[in-house]
Every structure is written in structure tokens, then in C-alpha cells.
Amino acid sequence: QKEVEQNSGPLSVPEGAIASLNCTYSDRGSQSFFWYRQYSGKSPELIMSIYSNGDKEDGRFTAQLNKASQYVSLLIRDSQPSDSATYLCAVIGYNQGGKLIFGQGTELSVKP
Amino acid sequence: DTAVSQTPKYLVTQMGNDKSIKCEQNLGHDTMYWYKQDSKKFLKIMFSYNNKELIINETVPNRFSPKSPDKAHLNLHINSLELGDSAVYFCASSQDRQNTQYFGPGTRLTVL
């Protein structure tokens, strides 16, 4: 079982739709959860961080965390073509010294 | 002002050579990291330093040696380069081991 698993995609949504990205993780003691966006040829940039169960909203982005189900998701409302990128889910496990474990990424394509 | 910077941006070299990549952060962070992103875009941690002390050393060939002269710098030296070392190497930093990691622009290493 992979430590952090994402739907590999690609995920294609029309402009203005909601994009839903999902991630599961295996370390039940994980405490810190992140979504990064990576454009082709660029470095990962932070979209959202979430540390406790529930929803966290920032503009068009909402991160959802369910520790009991070991599940974290990212919703992008009113998707724009500029949102087309690879989205990386990342988790810091319990007592892992800050080791950020990434999923394989989900490629999102927003069609005009 | 660039928060996390890396040099060089591109590195093309022959098998068997030795090369170094430099990383500097001006965020005042205590922890710095090296990640490798392979051709399948999977991002994996290699090393982490906290206040100049090595705290994460993943299963990486000992041809790779990190060095942290001070909190703001973390360099990566690679001996006897092999074809399989071709990848993008990212430096990152964070305030502490549980907080958001900020990535540098990456160094694309090509070994011929």
C-alpha cells in the first residue's frame, strides 16, 4: 500500500465547474496535510495546509480532512483554465522528523 | 526577493563527474530539505537538516552528500554521477518540522 495515494487522473473539467481531488494516506498518526500545485517545469507551490478534521476554505479552494477515514480532499470551485496543473497531496507522518510524503499527483485540465 | 533559491537551474554533465547544487533560503527557517523528482514526476525526500544537524537521511546512495554550512544554506554534492541521477532536484525550507515547506525553483540535472 502506498503511503499517500491519489487518483492519477488526468481529471478534466469544464471551466466554471467544481474540481474534486482526493487523497488517502496510510499513517494513522499523521498530523499535517498539504496540497501543492505544480505547473509543468515549475516547483511545487502551497495551495492549502490543514491540520484538524473538517473543512478549511481559502477563496475558491476548500480542503477537507477526515482523519478517521484517513482521507483528505481538495475542492476547486469555479475552475479556471489557469488551474490546469498537477496537484500534489502531501502528508507529514507521526514522529517522522518533518518528512513530507507526496502522492503521485493528479493532473487537472480545465477546458475553456 | 527570492525566498528559496538554487543554483544552477540546469546542469548537464557526463557520467562519472562530480557536481554540486547550492541552496539558500532567506526566510529565517530552521529546517531545510532536498527532494528528488524523477521522470514520472514523483517527488521524494532525500535529506533534511534542522539547525545544521542532519535529521532525515533516506535510502540514498552515499555518492550523495549534503552539507549545511549554516542554517540558511544546504548544498548537495554528488560524486560519480550515473545516468539514473538525471532528475529535478528541489531544495525546500520550513520554519519547523511540522509546518509548510517552501520549495526552490529546482535544478534539472541531466547526466549523459
Those residues with Cβ within 8 angstroms of residue B85's Cβ, 6 or more apart along the chain or in another chain: B78, B109, B111
**Res. B1: pLDDT tops 70:** no
Task: Choose the closest CB to A97 out of B48, B100, B106.
Answer: B48
**Res. A95: pLDDT tops 90:** no
Mean pLDDT, residues B34-52 taken together: 91
The number of residues in chain A equals 112
Please give the pLDDT value at position B24: 97
Please give the pLDDT value at position B58: 87
Amino acid at A112: P
**Res. A8: pLDDT tops 90:** no
Question: Angle at the Cα of A24 (from A31 to B94), degrees rounded to 5?
Answer: 40
Q: A22-67: per-residue pLDDT in tens?
A: 999 999 989 899 999 999 999 999 999 999 999 999 999 999 999 9
CB contact under 8 A, B98 and A32: yes
Please give the pLDDT value at position B11: 97
In Å, how far are A54, A57, B32, B89, B99 from A68, measured between CA atoms? 11, 20, 31, 34, 22
- For the ranges A24-33, B12-21, B52-61, the one whose mean pLDDT is highest: B12-21
Cβ contact A98:B56 at 8 Å? yes
The rounded distance, in Å, linking the Cα atoms of A35 and A56 is 12
Alpha helices (H) along B4-111: none
Q: Which residues of A touch B41 (CB under 8 A)?
A: 38, 86, 104-105
**B83 by DSSP, 3-state: which?**
helix
Interface check B101 vs A, CB under 8 A: yes
Nearest alpha carbon to residue B82 among B110, B54, B101, B62: B110
Q: B83-94: per-residue pLDDT in tens?
A: 999 999 999 999
Mean pLDDT, residues B27-55 taken together: 91
Q: Point out the least confidently predicted range of A43-47, B47-51, B63-67, B70-74.
A: B47-51
In Å, how far are A8, B15, B52, B64, B102 from B61, measured between CA atoms? 29, 15, 21, 6, 25
The rounded distance, in Å, linking the Cα atoms of A101 and A112 is 33
CB contact under 8 A, A32 and B99: yes
Task: Choose the closest CB to A97 out of B56, B90, B92.
Answer: B56
Query: What is the rounded average pLDDT for all residues in chain A?
Result: 93
Task: Choose the closest CB to B42 out of A34, A45, A104.
Answer: A104
**Res. A97: pLDDT tops 80:** no
